[in-house]
């Protein structure tokens, strides 16, 4: 059989394959939604410790040139003013994709661990339920660490605030569990994180590479606030809000996208 005849026979299948891929890409594009419009904080709610809901103390959260920035240049000292910017919609199963970079210097008065430290919190308690002086919401967290140019500071550990998870079949004794695959990013480079939540199984990714998996998040009955979310024998953490931490070191975010399952 000639090459020309083989090509003609294969052509319909090739066209079908290309069309199928195109349809799949269009479907994926429709599912993926941007949570940040690049212009302002529409759809987001601010909560900073010591201040009422919606008060943007010190212009901590701001938007310019398509970048959502967290800054402290109007603080005289950090003074434990931990905060978070909440996306104003409760979510359950999804894949979140966020691009971020650390910049600048740690704010005076920051905690000892505050250097290039931040986080993306998820399955958070509702922002309106966060107490005025509450530092951190009940939540799960993809912890963000930036390198100092010398030492390894792996990004992506799972931190729990009023919650419990299972890692490799056991419940960690520490609030933060380091990733299995350790990746450190030095300088002010942009990094892409992803959080995948589906059927009680959660995975962290950095630059498309999976770094840790855990499952069965639950509220911690020993935590004063978290225990109030336990209904009878149901202690499962099933959904909640996404938020971006303000922990004392300047950080930028740009693309914040989600695909809901």
pLDDT of 13 over the 90 cut:
no
From the CA atom positions of the chain, what is the Rg in Å?
21
DSSP reduced 3-state for 51: coil
Query: Rounded distance, CA 127 to CA 93, Å?
Result: 19
- Nearest alpha-carbon partner for 141 in 63, 46, 245, 58: 245
| Residue 1 belongs to a domain | no
CATH of the domain at 224: 2.60.120.560
Give the residue numbers spanning the domain of 23. 16-260
- Of all residues in the chain, the percent with pLDDT exceeding 90 is 88
Mean pLDDT of 144-154: 96
Segment 242-256, tens digit of pLDDT: 999 999 999 999 999
pLDDT of 164 over the 90 cut:
yes
Q: What are the backbone angles phi and psi of residue 65, rounded to the nearest 5°?
A: 55, 40
| Residue 5 belongs to a domain | no
DSSP tag of 228: G
| Residue 4 belongs to a domain | no
| Residue 21 belongs to a domain | yes
Query: Global pTM?
Result: 0.88
How many structural domains compose the chain?
1
The pLDDT score that the predictor gives to residue 11 is 47
Phi-psi region of 229 (alpha: psi -120 to 50; beta: other; left: phi over 0): alpha
| Residue 167 belongs to a domain | yes
The pLDDT score that the predictor gives to residue 186 is 97
The pLDDT score that the predictor gives to residue 15 is 45
DSSP reduced 3-state for 122: strand
| Residue 114 belongs to a domain | yes
DSSP reduced 3-state for 242: strand
| Residue 118 belongs to a domain | yes
pLDDT of 19 over the 90 cut:
no
Segment 86-141, tens digit of pLDDT: 999 999 999 999 999 999 999 999 999 999 999 999 999 999 999 999 999 999 99
| Residue 220 belongs to a domain | yes
Mean pLDDT of 77-93: 98
Q: Output the CA angle 111-195-174, nearest 5 degrees.
A: 45
Query: Rounded distance, CA 86 to CA 46, Å?
Result: 6
């Amino acid at each position: 059989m000639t090459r020309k005849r083989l090509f003609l026979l294969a052509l319909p299948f090739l066209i079908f394959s290309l069309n199928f891929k195109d349809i799949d890409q269009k479907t994926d594009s429709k599912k993926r939604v941007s949570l940040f419009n690049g212009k302002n904080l529409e759809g987001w709610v601010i909560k900073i410790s010591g201040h009422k809901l919606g008060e943007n103390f010190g212009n901590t959260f701001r938007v310019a040139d398509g970048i959502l920035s967290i800054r402290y240049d109007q603080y005289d000292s950090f003074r434990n003013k931990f905060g978070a910017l909440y996306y104003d919609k409760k979510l359950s199963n999804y894949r979140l994709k966020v691009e971020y970079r650390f910049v600048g210097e740690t704010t005076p008065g920051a905690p000892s661990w505050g250097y290039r430290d931040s986080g993306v919190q998820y399955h958070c308690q509702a922002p309106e339920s966060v107490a005025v002086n509450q530092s951190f919401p009940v939540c799960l967290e993809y912890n963000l660490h930036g390198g100092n140019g010398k030492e390894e500071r792996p990004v992506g550990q799972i931190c729990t605030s009023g919650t419990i998870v299972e890692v490799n079949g056991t419940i960690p004794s520490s609030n933060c569990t380091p990733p299995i695959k350790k990746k450190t990013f030095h300088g002010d480079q942009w990094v892409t994180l992803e959080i995948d939540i589906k059927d009680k199984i959660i995975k962290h990714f950095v630059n498309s590479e999976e770094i840790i998996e855990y499952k069965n998040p639950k509220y911690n009955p020993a935590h004063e606030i978290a225990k109030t979310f336990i209904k009878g024998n149901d202690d499962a953490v099933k959904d909640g809000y996404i938020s971006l931490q303000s922990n004392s070191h300047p950080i930028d975010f740009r693309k914040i996208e989600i695909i809901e399952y």
